[in-house]
């Protein structure tokens, strides 16, 4: 029973016109669970209807107007009171009046700009949703429906390999190379590690994929590092002249595209972390940033051909060639 307008006397439902044919995508919620949502891309039209069903057909529902909004917003968990909207579209469905029977209102947001990918992280959430509102004097009736947006990219024009020399003077000297600096989310990281000098008793080597989420600006910057994957390269001591191949498949991990300075609120970057552990449990590591992107259905053949050639080159036995970027490992302890 509704008393002075309290209590909801109408059921509101948002229905998409292409709900039966539209693809759904899994997306992580704040509590870590995965749910499926309708999937949209930038520039697609969002259309459907708002259905109102009166719980008591014999009663009328007075309202101050009915509207539907399409909203894209960023929510920082440490500042939950403020929602930063970067997309806000409104359609008025009905003027103030009365609803005497159940009915539906059509809506259409044409070629909606959706510039960023949906994201749920440690300290931030970027979401898109439809919100239908029946305005009333005392309490509005509100219904929301989330959707997921994926941003697609084409094959990068420039995708050079990553070559590095890392070492500790007179103790360890290795060269490593990854075949590309930019990878799509279903890609394969192909590379090699070549030992030029080994005077440390190394017992283990691995590559970690690290996601770094950065939120805030200035003095209020927060960094969250999350190790997405650990890939064992070697278990045992390498010898001078040994070459270790790397082949890491990304498809099995929960990854997002790289996001840089999204609406000046947050960034998500990925790093390949090469880790060596010696027999005394000392850790030596070197990080290298890589760019991840979401692949569209259409990829230029010429670029795919170049990628195949690059992969074949790494699977051969040729040396890694001239080292372009010398650097130090992060731990300088060494015993000969």
- Mean pLDDT on 289-313: 59
- Mean pLDDT on 21-42: 92
For 302, residues 6+ apart whose C-beta sits below 8 A from its C-beta are none
Q: Give the model confidence (pLDDT) of 179-234 as tens digits.
A: 999 999 999 999 998 888 877 788 888 899 999 999 987 778 899 999 999 988 87
- In whole angstroms, give the CA distance from residue 128 to residue 150: 11
3-state helix, strand, coil in the chain (%, to 5): 5, 55, 40
Which range, of 23-27, 204-208, 239-243, averages the lowest pLDDT?
Answer: 239-243
Topology (CATH) of 10-149: Immunoglobulin-like (2.60.40)
> Which numeric CATH code is attached to 162-293?
2.60.40.640
Q: Cα dist. 78→125, 197, 220 in Å?
A: 11, 48, 10
Residue 213 Cα to chain centre, angstroms? 10
Q: What is the pLDDT of residue 297?
A: 58
Is residue 53 within 8 A of residue 13, CB to CB? The reply is yes
Q: What is the pLDDT of residue 330?
A: 47
Instruction: Parse the chain into domains and list their residue ranges.
Output: 10-149, 162-293
Q: How many of the other CB atoms lie within 10 Å of CB of 282?
A: 14
Which range, of 8-12, 18-22, 40-44, 188-192, averages the lowest pLDDT?
Answer: 8-12
Q: Are the folds of 10-149 and 162-293 the same?
A: yes
Q: What is the pLDDT of residue 157?
A: 77
- In whole angstroms, give the CA distance from residue 68 to residue 50: 8
**% of the chain residues with pLDDT over 70:** 86
Instruction: Answer yes or no: is pLDDT of 329 > 60.
Output: no
Which range, of 15-29, 135-149, 186-200, averages the lowest pLDDT?
Answer: 186-200
Is residue 241 within 8 A of residue 255, CB to CB? The reply is no
H-run or E-run covering 84: strand 83-94
């Amino acid at each position: 029973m509704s008393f002075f307008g309290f209590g909801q006397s109408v059921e509101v439902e948002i229905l998409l016109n292409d709900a039966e044919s539209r693809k759904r995508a899994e997306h992580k919620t704040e509590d870590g669970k995965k749910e499926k949502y309708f999937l949209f891309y930038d520039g697609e039209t969002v259309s459907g209807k708002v259905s109102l069903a009166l719980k008591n057909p014999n009663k009328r529902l007075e309202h101050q107007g009915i509207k539907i909004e399409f909203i894209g917003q960023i929510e920082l968990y440490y500042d939950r009171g403020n929602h930063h909207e970067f997309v806000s579209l409104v359609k008025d469905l009905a003027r103030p009046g009365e609803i005497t029977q159940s009915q539906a209102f059509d809506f259409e947001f044409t070629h909606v700009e959706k510039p960023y990918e949906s994201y749920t992280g440690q300290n931030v959430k970027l979401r898109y949703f439809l919100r239908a509102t029946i305005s009333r004097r005392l309490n509005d009736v509100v219904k929301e429906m989330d959707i997921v947006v994926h941003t697609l990219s084409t094959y990068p024009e420039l995708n050079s390999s990553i070559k590095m020399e890392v070492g500790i003077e007179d103790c360890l000297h290795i060269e490593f190379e990854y075949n590309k600096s930019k990878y799509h989310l279903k890609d394969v990281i192909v590379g090699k590690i070549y030992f030029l000098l080994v005077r440390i008793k190394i017992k283990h080597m691995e590559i970690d994929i690290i996601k770094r989420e950065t939120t805030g600006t200035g003095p209020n910057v927060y960094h969250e590092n999350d190790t997405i994957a650990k890939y064992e390269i070697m278990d045992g001591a390498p010898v001078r002249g040994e070459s270790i191949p790397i082949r890491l498949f990304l498809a099995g991990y929960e990854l997002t595209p790289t996001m840089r300075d999204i609406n000046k609120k947050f960034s998500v970057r990925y790093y390949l972390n090469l880790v060596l552990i010696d027999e005394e449990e000392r850790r030596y590591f070197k990080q290298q940033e890589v760019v991840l992107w979401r692949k569209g259905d259409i990829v230029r053949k010429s670029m795919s051909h170049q990628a195949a050639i690059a992969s074949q080159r790494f699977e051969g036995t040729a040396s890694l060639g001239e080292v372009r970027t010398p650097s130090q490992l992060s731990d300088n302890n060494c015993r000969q």
